[in-house]
Every structure is written in structure tokens, then in C-alpha cells.
Structure 1
């Protein structure tokens, strides 16, 4: 164990002990009689609850932040007359004097009004989509679960949004001409270094984090805030659920999984826990669908979550989030010279301790996290064990004390490592167990330091500006990066706006790429520039967005004949996105959305030719020209709902094999044609679902659901394979033929 790990372990142990003490002390405090309390609800001008409004006792640091129901509660140390001040960005502050009597509870409600202006105030977001229960969101967690074909997966649901390319039938997020590795994933300020289950080069089959573990997500496909670094294309920031307000229990029984979970407020508004567990058993599901023979080991796994949330003092929240999942799979993979089976066993652990503190107009968030990942993979003679580690400390600060301006600042420090043991092929194109292999036992580590400063300023009633700068340093690259970022939004009318955004985004090499044997110790930092212009209209049930963008890439890491790897790559991506959405799930008898993306993406590619490397500037592997998604849901009869999702995308580019050269041992090495000069056939898929919502008694619900994926049973081509001498090519079809799934979900609130 390293010196850093020891320090983090001691720090986490110390804070856990603190939580245990809190758990013991809070019940004793709650038993004390005669608390003096001010509580109430904060509403907007339409009478709807306002989330995250600051409610403070004037002249003190005593206060609270309203929850999703707009509720707040302040414990008073003494009686007397006080002034309560309520504020929220975009609303005029409100004050009211309250006379507090000892051992009494005073209830007071506030209704905030929009600041007086010719047009509604704006909020700057450069092409950001969110999921959650907050005002102005695009998808709620319920809609994630009810989207046909999404398999109740956050990432698959986001694939139906514009700007995300359908590379295959997995959950990988390829954003605006960028690779899946160019997306940063964050949960409660902690990095999620392996965000996919059943990983593969295009991401994975599912996302790691289930939708009902999070209260909301922020997904930006470009021009995102200076808060986020080390990502050239996109960021997905998730927030786990907070303090439970009631005893809740749920269970799910499906053809491939059994799960259960709950939430218990041990001491209301003071101490609560959330927990869940899931066991995947897909053998029965594949047998019903006639696919059991496609696997040596059908996908199976388990995951569990346990979170403790404590509010020991007014304005203080401590959350200890723990999530563990494991999975394994074995599937035949045809190879030119032998019959192979790919086997994988992986485990992912995330532990994060977060502290939030509100002082008057200051909001501070600090977290310490550990993310551990391990994967054992076998294919032919390949036998590789990978272990990745991420240790992160992060703190974010928000100050809203100035009129028409909010300041944001933060710092982060992390240590990241890759460890590899096992055996690798002498030639990456030959995996036959009888071929030559070599053993490895290597470890690589890097350290990163970063910080940012950003402000959001209401220039005029119609104009809002967000200006920020970010700096990062990594010990191997040995250079500071400076990333300026700017967003400007103009409110055309009460329900429409025009937005512009630009910024520079850097991304460091992975730790293992710095090794001297197959990498380069002197690798620099990759970078991209984003330029975005868009229009948005949102009124009542309708939401329309149109955006155009251009991205330039420089200093990309590519294969180099002399140095193994170098920063000589470059590229570009440009395109346009369109999004139309009507209503929300169950709000009207019908709801849905249509998204379309046009994309052109090119990069410099290395090409192996008879022992040397040539370079071609050609379409990238993720240059999916057209993407179309149509999602529709309708209430059919009473509480019976149905829906469909249709997906179409241009076939992805691939490099054809045009001949082969003999190699030792009777093997052949492929000779490739022009890079990405051919495309797979176009992708089509139609998914249907049906669900019935039953309420046996108040606060109890049962949902029966069934779905049919790939209803038309289309044989989408995912790749090509060749015979031993590469003289014959045959398509590899998707494993997702017509597929039936069914189950029942039970939710209880006690």
C-alpha cells in the first residue's frame, strides 16, 4: 500500500468514525424536548416548489437550502425576533420578520417572483441535457426506465439524444465525432474511471450506475463549464440521491434479474440510509429467446449500493456513497485460424465521502473518493489481468453574494494507476494459442492537479455571460494547460434564446501510455477547440433545440514508427443537431421526442504497410453521417401505456483487408486497404414496450412490463471476419435479434 493510499484510508476511516458518532448522537439530540424551529415552503410565482433556494437568518450563518418539495427547516438557538431572507438566482429576494418563541415551531411560506425585466432571465448552458426532477429537464429517471430499447440504462437513453452516435447496440457514448474515451464521467464529484459493464472497445453493454441511484444528471455534448477537465468531447455528471423523506422499499423480478432496495430516514431530516442490491441471471432469458447456445457463460453479475446521509447541523450534509458491481461473460469469437472464446470477469468499486456546507451566500462541496477496477480477460493465447485505481480529492465553491453575478471556483488532485499482468501476443493480429506470446508485469501511475475560476453574469435583461478559465498539471506531461471557456446567451423572447459557446479542452494520456517499452515517456497533452451556435424554444409542452458546431483536434496520440506513440495526430469534426420533444411521461396521453444529427469527422490515421507506417487523413471510426431517433409513448387504456423507439444510423466506416502476407508458423498477416474507405450496412432497429401501472393502496404501486427489442428482427452487421489467409470475408451479425423481456416492479412507501 502506497503512502497516499495509507493517508486516504486513515482519512476515510476517521470520517466514517465521525459518522458513526453522529449516528449515535443525533437520536439523543432528537429526543430532547422543546426544539425552536422555523420551517416552511418556498414557491415560485406559479405556486410550484423551488429547489435549492437559500433560506437564511439575516446577519448569521444559520440557514438551510430548500429540497425538491421546496421545504426548509431552520433550528433556532434562541427565541426573539429575527428576519428570514430567501434568495435564488433569477428571482427577487424576499424577507420577512418572524417572532420566535422558545420550544415552539413557526411555519412561514415564501413565494418568490422573477426579477423584473422586459424578458425572462436566462440560464447559460452550451448544449447540455439533464435528467432528474428539476425544472426544465429533458428526461426524468422515470422516462429513462420507460424509454423502449433503453433497458432502463442512463447511457442508452442518452443515445437517443442528438450529438450521440449509434456505433453499435451497446451503451457507449460517442459524442460529436469524438471517441468513447473522450467523455468524462463524474458521480458526486468523484471520477468513474470505468463507467460501463461488460466492457469492450466501443464502451460496454450497459452503464455501471443504475438510474434510480441518482437524483439527476448533467450531460453536455460540448462547450461545457470550466468545472470539468481532462475531457475533449463531453461530460456526464451525476448526483446520487440525498436524504430520504419516508420509508421506501422496492423490488423487481425480471427474466434476467432480481433486485431489491430501500430508503430509511432513521432520524427525519437528520440521518438516513439508502441501499439496493441486484443479481443478474440471464441464462433463463437467453434460453427463452433461443440464444442460450450463443454463450459459453451467459452474462451474469451482481451489484450493491449502500449510502449514509447525515445532516448534523443546519446547512451541513455528509454523504458516504458506496457502490460495488461484478460481472462475467463467455462468448465465442470467430478467429481466422482457430475457434476462440472470449472470457471476461470484472469488478468495479466506488467509495465516495462528500461534505456540503452552506454559509449564507457560500456553498462548499468537498469529496474524497476511491475507484477500483479489475478485469481478467482471455481470448486464445491472450490472458490479461488489468487493475486500475483512481484516488481523488476535490472541492468546489459557489458564491452568490453579488447582484446579477455568481462566482464558481474549485480545485482537485488525483492519483491514477494502471496495472497489467499476464501474457500478450508477439503479433497483435495473431491470437492463436500456439503462437508466440510474452509475459508482462507492469505498473504505471500519474498525478494530476487542477483548478478553475468561473463567473456567470447577467449583463442585461436579455444577455447572460459565463466566462471561465481552467488550469491543469500532470507530473508526466510536465506542463500546465490553460483552458479559456466562454458562453453567451441572448433571450430573443420569453420562450426562446440564441446561444454561443467556445472553449479549449485538454486531455492527458492514460498512465500506461507513458511506458518506454510500448509507449512514450514524453507524451504531451491532447487538445480540442469547441465552437457552438444554437437556438432553443421551450414553452409549456414543447421543446425545440437546433445547434451547429465545429471541433478541431491537435496533438492527438497516435502510433509512431520511431517512438511507439507520439502527439502528431490531428483532426476535425463538424455537424448539426436537431431535437424536438413534446410533453413528459404521463403528463399528457402522448409524449415523445425526435432527434437527428448530421456529422462529419476526420482524423490522421496510422496505416501499417510492409513493416512501415504510412499516415492517411480519413474519416474517423466514429464518423456516423446520419443519426435519427424517434421515441413515442402513449397511454392506451386507463393505466396501460405503450411505446416504441426507432433508431437509424449510417453504417460506421471500416478499413478493408485487401490481401495477406505469409508469416512464420503458417499464419498470415493482413494487408489493409485505404483507412476507413468502406462502410458497414446502415443500422435499423425498432423496439416496443408495454406496461401496466396498478395502485393497490395509497403509496403502493406495482408495474407489470414487457418489451420486444428489434421487433423486425433485422440482422444488423457489426463487423467482418476473415478466413485464415484473409481471402474470404463474412459478416458478423449483432447478437440482438428479436428479443422478449418481461417483469414486475413493486414500490412501497410506509
Structure 2
């Protein structure tokens, strides 16, 4: 209880760091072994002309040590199980430096050393670094990298989806890189429960960096965020496995004897039946989501590295709904929707991805990379589902034989949905990147060619029959007053989309940026300025004009010469987003080749404060931001399906404040607290400003890790999220100016409990059955701990007699229990 009190008290706490003597500095960091596990008991020391210092790493591998300032000091690392090693470092008086390292058991040098002076690269450019261990431990229905991004600048009210919206942007405005290679996602997915697996294999991750805006020119042409992921380079043979009621994974590391070849391969299987069966719709649900991913590294010399990254993924989604009853309304006037289904849905998404990257280090100050990648996706979406519904009052008489059932039906009807959608897309990229360091100047540049070839057929329609007649589409200029007056027009579907598109897009893009470090008095000033440019042209069965965008960007970071470790950032520029295929296709499925790039001016002012509390490290980051957007391509959002209007006929704005703090609230564990406020609106054809589909005002999230004091092997993980309701309570075909309702607030707590049998601190004698494991834990996960009813969309049902439409909530998952086993050898 004391720990929880500390957690909430820190939200309002303003702290100051300890000041050091003017002739002293401080080093600190974390020491890991070859499998990235913390090493306890490492002796860290120095001996400088008779002045000595000594420290010992704790059970989390963390340490700190005061050293003399103003001259080079040799730091020595010694442990009985590892080869001794040393690292030189020089720090100004009163400053701090971070040295993180991987200790080797069979080599004579320290591997993977990361040394940062008083300011790290991530802090300078505004990237948030996320620990892979935190990512692996966080509980959630879709646990992984995207799950924790939602705790930062990203928002989502759908635990079934890995998609996220950042600071008012859409799902299509986020960049994702793995090993410098841009990652794509399937096109046709319309529901979170169809997604299955994200591209990123959490078991292969070594480093994750995230920016919610104001990022540098070297990152691509998107308007909202960047997620930059690096996979680890194996240093030994090892196998990791994970199994739960939702699926499992196996990951293997290998390295050659001469250490020139290394590789990591992972296979994953996912089954969402446990989650989907907790929803209100009874169904026969048979999903299989599988993928195999591999990264192979070849280092022929100390200057040259060659990497291959490959992925094969197949998502099969078979869905046969049977029955649904959803109660809504008020206590005084309860209403229920009862639906009987017939038919089924059969979807399949198969993707192939391969990339080659060659990195050549000409010298310490000159490096360049050549990258080539191919992404191929084949998608089909077939369904015929008949829904016969009854809308009416609920019998609330406890003694009645029909208690809980629908009586006094207000509306009876049926709805038939049909689709035969196919998409085949091939995307190829070729890219060259380089950097040069000249004194305190760093120059980075890159050029890239992209070819996109999309073959797309859309054929879907919806027919609604109510009280014996067919309901026509909501077209304003056709008068339809059924059943009071006969209507003699032709029978047409309520919604009808038919299109065949063969589209090719060629893109040429490039960037150049300059970074410089200088002094302003005693303060450090970091400057970055650069620009991106892209030319693209749409061809195929429709031809468009060639278009060009130029996006200048800049960052300023100031680190005052204060005792407290604080810096200030100001960044921004133009973030233009040329349309991808999905943005070229309008709501009727037609490709409009001359859709322009959406334009955004983005300004971010940030403060980054690192301090120590209870002798443990903490960080508080605050960002105030504003976006002004032109040529906005408006869209409707239904679950995760986006339909663009493809006409650039709106302007928009977004502004907000994000605050987050992370640190060791409990010794040896890292926890996160984040609070955010955002407002975003759009003005369509000068009709006035209304909320955008991602206008989620308030966000509060906590990721908390703890252990039982008397049983330290029993770990506890909590993932708590509160978001105010999104817009989108209106039909996708409706005029957004007529429907401005919101969904209910999103509240969810996921909990994980794990008993650790073996970890890096365990010391079992040879021959003991547990001695073969490097890690072994068994846990219980509880999703939606408090069983909150969260809705993602509404189903709109028409009462023909009153001409009212009822928004019936489509609820997400209820409380679900799952066991989880983790093994590493």
C-alpha cells in the first residue's frame, strides 16, 4: 500500500537532483550478460594517482560511482564469472555519465558498450527508449511493442488491435522501422480481432525508440509518429519459448565459431478465440495467425556488416456468428437488441517480406548503408452474413417467465451483408544512406526509390429489410416516406461498393540533415536542421499528375549548466504525407490519382528532467505541442477500418500536453505513469469545426511492476488505462455534421502474476533439474480485471415506426483468464 501511495504522490512531486562537489562527477549504468540478463556483484573501480573508488552492481545490474572530474579516468569491471574489462571516460565537474555494458565470459573485450556523457542521444532528439524487458512483461490482450506505445503518445480504445493513433493522427500516419527498414501492414483488415500478429516479434527485440512528433528529417514522410526498432545480435546459442491460452512462440539464437555469422529466428502462433468468445456475440470462431521471422547477420570484416531480415505471415480468420443479445438504454427504460445470424465470414491475409542491408564503415567518421526490401501481400475478404433482428423493451419483472427477454418489439427486420474483396500488392524499395562526422558536425543523407503495384477488386453490398420493405440508401434528394406513402423507385442496396483498380505508384524521396553541438555560455546547445523531399506519380488504369513536396524540419536542445540534470527541447517543421494507396481510394472504392499530400506544421516544446529519488533513477518528460493541418483527407473510422473521402477538402488542428514519468518506484523494476490532454477538430468545406474521429481528450495510463516482499520470486504487473470516449458513435455513411455523439469512456486494467523459478540470479548446482534453464517462470494473466464494458463502435438499428435510429454498443472483451509459461535455455 505504501508503494501505491508513493506512485500517486509522485505525479505532483517536484524534485531536485543532488549536487556533487565541484571536483567530482558521477557514473552510473546497468551491466548485463550475453543473454541480456542483469549481473549482480560486479566490482566497478578506478585507481587514479592514488585516488581510488569502488562500487558493486546490485541484483538488477545497476551501479553508481563517484569519480574525479576534468580528466580521463579508467573504469575497471571485474567479476569471477566474466573476463575483466575497462573503459575510459572523462566528465566535467558536477556532471553525470552513463555506461551500460554487456560482460563477456569468453572474450577479452567489453561488448556492446554504451557510454553517454551528461546527455544521451535519445534525450537530445526527443526519442523515448523502451526497455525490451518492460515490453515482454506488460500484460495485455495484444501484448508487445504497440501495447506500451499506447501508454506514451499513442491512443487506442481497442485492445483487440495493435493499431494506434498519435496526437490526433490516423492509424496511417505512423512510421514503423525495424533495422532501418520501413514496415507495412495489410490493407483490408476492418476489425481488430482480424489482425492477429503485429510484424514486430517481441522476443527478438533489443532496442525500441519512439517519438510522438517533432522528429528529424531522416525519418520518413508521415505526420504523426516514429517507432524505431532494432533486433539483437546473438552472442551465444539459446532458445526461448512462450506458451499461453492465446498461443505461443519459439525463438532461437545461434552464432558461428568464428563469430562472423549469427542469426535469430522466431515462430509465433496466435489464437484469439479466448478473447472473442468473451464478447456478447455467440459464434463459431476458428482463427489461425502464424508467422516465421528470421534475421541473419554476416560480418566479413570489422568494417562491413550484411543483414537479412525476412518474414512470412498468414492470418486465417473464419467467423460464423450465431446469436447476440445486447442490453442498453436506461434503468427506467431498458432496451435490448436480439439478433439471430446465418452465414459466415472467411478472410485470409498472407504476407511475404524480405530485406537486405549492407553497412560499410569507411572510417570512424564515415559510414553508409545500402538497403533493399520487397513486401508482398495477398488478401481476401469473403462473407455472406444474414442478421435477423428484434429491437424492443426488456422484461424486468423478476418473477416473469420471460425475465430478461425482449417484449413489445419496436422494430423487426433483417440485414444481409455480402463481400468478395481481393487485393494483391507488391511494394519494392531501394535506398542508400550515409553519415559523415566533421569536428562537432554530423551530416546525414539518404535517397530512396519505391515502386508500389496494387491490384484491387472491391465488391460488397448491404441490404436492409424492415417490416417487410427494403430501406433505401440515405440520399437526401430522394423523398422516401415509407410506409406512410408508397415509393415507386427501383430496389437498390442500402450500401453498394464495386470497383476494380490496377494502380502503380513510383516514388523518389530523399533527405539531408545537419547536427551540431556547441556552447552557449556554460550550457550545451544541440542543433539539428534538415529537409525531406518526395516526388510521386500515380499510374495504372487511372493516370495522375506528378507531385512534389518539401519538408524542412529543425530541433534545438539546450542543456543548462545546472546541478540538476535537465534539458529543454524545441522542435518542429513541415510534415507532409503523400497519399498511400488506401488514401487514394474513396468511399466508393474508386482511385483518385490526383489526391494531394496532407500538410502539417508541427511545433513541440519539451522538458526532460532526470533525477534520483530514494537513491533510484527517475525521469520526468513534459511536451506541449500544436499541429496545423491543410489539404486534410477526411475519413470515417469503424473499428480499425478507415474509409477516406480522397478529396483534400478540409483543414484541421490539434494541440495538447503530454507528461510521463518512469523510474524505479519499486527497487529493481521500472514503472511508467503518463497523463495527456488533446483536442483535434476538422473543418470540412468551411462548414465549421467538428471533432475528428481520433479526438480523444483525456488519457491516463500506468504500467506498474512490483514483487511480494517476502516472496521476491512472485512478480506483479499492472497495465491500467483510462481514455475519454472517442467520436464515431455515428454510421459510417452519415453526414458527420449531423452525428456528433461519442462512445463511452474506455477503462481497462490488465494484470499479470508470475512466479520466477529461474533467472539470472539463480545458482543451481550442476545436475539439478533447473540448472539447464536460464529463465523459467509460470504466470497468470487477467485481462480486463474489473470487467468493464468498453465499446468500440455502435450498430445502428432503425425503428421504422418512430423513424428513430438506435445506437447499440458493440462491446469489446470482458474479463478473461489465461496462463503463461516462459522458458529460456
The reply to whether TM is greater than 0.5 is yes
Looking at structure 2, the residues matched to 332 and 495 of structure 1 have their Cα atoms a distance apart, in angstroms, of 58
Aligned 8 A contact 2:73 2:90 in 1: no
Tell me by how many angstroms 1:564 deviates.
7.0
Aligned 8 A contact 1:308 1:320 in 2: yes
Aligned 8 A contact 2:797 2:808 in 1: no
Residue 676 of structure 2: aligned partner: 597
Looking at structure 2, the residues matched to 193 and 93 of structure 1 have their Cα atoms a distance apart, in angstroms, of 48
Residue 569 of structure 1: aligned partner: 650
Tell me by how many angstroms 1:507 deviates.
0.8
Residue 506 of structure 2: aligned partner: 447
User: 1:250-280 deviations in whole A, cap 9, x for unaligned?
Assistant: 2222212132221111234201221121223
Looking at structure 1, the residues matched to 620 and 156 of structure 2 have their Cα atoms a distance apart, in angstroms, of 22
Tell me by how many angstroms 1:357 deviates.
1.2
Residue 309 of structure 1: aligned partner: 297
Aligned 8 A contact 1:190 1:392 in 2: no
Structure with larger Rg = 2
Looking at structure 1, the residues matched to 423 and 206 of structure 2 have their Cα atoms a distance apart, in angstroms, of 32
Shift of the 647–547 alpha-carbon distance from structure 1 to 2, 3 Å rule, reads same
Alignment of 1:613-652 (within 5 A): 615-636=687-708, 637-652=711-726
Which segment drifts farther, 167-176 or 291-300?
291-300
Shift of the 403–685 alpha-carbon distance from structure 1 to 2, 3 Å rule, reads same
Aligned 8 A contact 2:186 2:377 in 1: no
Residue 252 of structure 2: aligned partner: 262
The runs of 5 or more residues in structure 1 that have no matched partner are 1-43, 52-65, 70-90, 97-105, 131-136, 607-613, 658-668
Q: Which of 583, 591, 607 is equivalent to 2:664?
A: 583
Aligned 8 A contact 1:196 1:207 in 2: no
Residue 211 of structure 2: aligned partner: 220
Residue 184 of structure 1: aligned partner: 175
User: Is residue 478 of structure 2 the alignment partner of residue 408 of structure 1?
Assistant: no
Shift of the 475–185 alpha-carbon distance from structure 1 to 2, 3 Å rule, reads same
Aligned 8 A contact 1:688 1:711 in 2: yes
User: Is residue 629 of structure 2 the alignment partner of residue 553 of structure 1?
Assistant: yes
Alignment of 1:213-612 (within 5 A): 213-242=204-233, 244-283=234-273, 285=274, 294-331=282-319, 341-360=344-363, 361-379=365-383, 380-400=417-437, 402-425=438-461, 440-460=499-519, 461-476=523-538, 478-492=546-560, 493=562, 494-511=564-581, 514=584, 518-540=590-612, 541-558=617-634, 565-583=646-664, 588=667, 591-605=670-684
Looking at structure 2, the residues matched to 195 and 440 of structure 1 have their Cα atoms a distance apart, in angstroms, of 19
Looking at structure 2, the residues matched to 312 and 582 of structure 1 have their Cα atoms a distance apart, in angstroms, of 40
Aligned 8 A contact 2:280 2:811 in 1: no
Residue 20 of structure 1: aligned partner: none
Shift of the 590–737 alpha-carbon distance from structure 1 to 2, 3 Å rule, reads same
SS at match of 1:181: helix
Looking at structure 1, the residues matched to 648 and 311 of structure 2 have their Cα atoms a distance apart, in angstroms, of 36
Looking at structure 2, the residues matched to 218 and 183 of structure 1 have their Cα atoms a distance apart, in angstroms, of 13
Shift of the 293–522 alpha-carbon distance from structure 1 to 2, 3 Å rule, reads closer
Residue 687 of structure 1: aligned partner: 750
Tell me by how many angstroms 1:595 deviates.
0.4
SS at match of 2:301: coil
Shift of the 478–702 alpha-carbon distance from structure 1 to 2, 3 Å rule, reads same
Tell me by how many angstroms 1:109 deviates.
4.5
> Considering only aligned residues, what root-mean-square deviation do their CA atoms show, in Å?
3.9
Shift of the 177–292 alpha-carbon distance from structure 1 to 2, 3 Å rule, reads closer
Aligned 8 A contact 1:418 1:444 in 2: yes
Shift of the 189–306 alpha-carbon distance from structure 1 to 2, 3 Å rule, reads same
Looking at structure 1, the residues matched to 193 and 289 of structure 2 have their Cα atoms a distance apart, in angstroms, of 20
TM-score norm. by structure 1 comes to 0.75
Residue 776 of structure 2: aligned partner: 702
Aligned 8 A contact 1:548 1:576 in 2: yes
Tell me by how many angstroms 1:168 deviates.
2.5
The runs of 5 or more residues in structure 2 that have no matched partner are 1-24, 38-68, 75-82, 97-117, 325-336, 384-416, 465-471, 475-490, 539-544, 637-643, 759-769
Residue 791 of structure 2: aligned partner: 717
Looking at structure 2, the residues matched to 495 and 203 of structure 1 have their Cα atoms a distance apart, in angstroms, of 46
Tell me by how many angstroms 1:304 deviates.
0.6
Shift of the 503–686 alpha-carbon distance from structure 1 to 2, 3 Å rule, reads same
Residue 112 of structure 2: aligned partner: none
Tell me by how many angstroms 1:129 deviates.
4.1
User: 1:650-706 deviations in whole A, cap 9, x for unaligned?
Assistant: 11113546xxxxxxxxxxx97657355221111111111101111222762211111
Tell me by how many angstroms 1:203 deviates.
10
SS at match of 1:232: coil
User: Is residue 103 of structure 2 the alignment partner of residue 113 of structure 1?
Assistant: no
Tell me by how many angstroms 1:447 deviates.
1.1
Aligned 8 A contact 1:518 1:564 in 2: no
Shift of the 293–656 alpha-carbon distance from structure 1 to 2, 3 Å rule, reads closer
User: 1:211-249 deviations in whole A, cap 9, x for unaligned?
Assistant: 12222122111000101122011111222222x110101
User: 1:81-114 deviations in whole A, cap 9, x for unaligned?
Assistant: xxxxxxxxxx999999xxxxxxxxx998441324
Shift of the 483–114 alpha-carbon distance from structure 1 to 2, 3 Å rule, reads farther
Shift of the 689–671 alpha-carbon distance from structure 1 to 2, 3 Å rule, reads closer
SS at match of 1:311: strand
TM-score norm. by structure 2 comes to 0.69
Aligned 8 A contact 1:589 1:635 in 2: no
SS at match of 1:399: strand
Aligned 8 A contact 1:121 1:462 in 2: no
Residue correspondences, number: 628
Looking at structure 1, the residues matched to 645 and 824 of structure 2 have their Cα atoms a distance apart, in angstroms, of 55
Looking at structure 1, the residues matched to 730 and 498 of structure 2 have their Cα atoms a distance apart, in angstroms, of 31
Tell me by how many angstroms 1:738 deviates.
0.2
Residue 21 of structure 1: aligned partner: none
SS at match of 1:381: strand
Shift of the 94–332 alpha-carbon distance from structure 1 to 2, 3 Å rule, reads farther
Shift of the 539–194 alpha-carbon distance from structure 1 to 2, 3 Å rule, reads same
Aligned 8 A contact 1:631 1:645 in 2: yes
